């Protein structure tokens, strides 16, 4: 996804310096910083959730990973 973002003029030289030190591009430095921030916020949100909401989220994630194309017969499902 391509987005245009206004960046403060004081930050640009700092980004260029970090990119030069890491032998990377400014774009990669910004992407890395945003990824870390998003991960931090997700962890922060997960830590503030009550246990029942964490369980619900885990179940939702498992259900999203399930293979919806395979079918189990009724006999196999209720077989003792």
Query: What pLDDT score was predicted for residue 67?
Result: 79
pTM, whole model, 2 decimals? 0.63
- Which residue in this structure is represented by tokens 């403060």? 8
Grade residue 78 by pLDDT with cuts at 50, 70 and 90.
confident
| d(C-alpha 26, C-alpha 34), whole Å | 12
Contact 34, 28 (CB under 8 A): no
| d(C-alpha 34, C-alpha 13), whole Å | 18
């Amino acid at each position: 996804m391509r987005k245009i973002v206004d960046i403060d003029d004081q930050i640009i030289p700092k980004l260029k310096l970090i990119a030069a030190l890491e032998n990377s591009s400014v774009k990669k430095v910004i992407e890395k910083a945003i990824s870390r921030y998003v991960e931090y916020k997700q962890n922060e949100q997960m830590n503030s959730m009550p246990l029942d909401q964490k369980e619900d989220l885990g179940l939702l994630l498992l259900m999203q990973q399930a293979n919806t194309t395979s079918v189990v017969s009724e006999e196999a499902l209720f077989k003792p």
